[in-house]
Copies of this chain bind each other. A is one copy, B any other.
Amino acid sequence: MKRIAIDMDEVVADAIGRFAEWYKRDYGIEFTAKQLNTTPFENLIDPTHNGFIKAAVYHDDFFKDLAVIPGCKEVIKDLYQHYELFFTTAAMEFPNSLLPKLAWLGEHFPYILWTNIVFCGDKSIINADYLIDDNVKHFKRFIGQGILFTASHNHDVQWDVRVNNWQQIRELLL
Q: Give chain A's interface residues, CB within 8 Å of chain B.
A: 3, 5, 86, 88, 91-93, 95, 98-99, 102, 113-122, 124-128, 143
With A98-B99, A102-B98, A127-B126 in contact, is A92–B121 under 8 Å at CB?
Answer: no
> Closest CB of chain B to A113's CB: distance in Å?
7
> Closest CB of chain B to A156's CB: distance in Å?
25
Residues of B within 8 A of A143 (CB): 127
Residues of B within 8 A of A127 (CB): 124-127, 143
B93–A114 touching, CB < 8 Å: yes
> Closest CB of chain B to A135's CB: distance in Å?
13
A contacts with B: majority SS: mixed
Cα-based distance from A92 to B102 in the complex (angstroms) = 8
Q: Which of B92, B118, B124 contacts A125 (CB 8 A)?
A: B118
**Residue in A92, A93, A116 with the greatest tally of chain B CB atoms within 10 Å:** A92
Cα-based distance from A88 to B125 in the complex (angstroms) = 10
> Closest CB of chain B to A49's CB: distance in Å?
26
Cα-based distance from A121 to B119 in the complex (angstroms) = 10
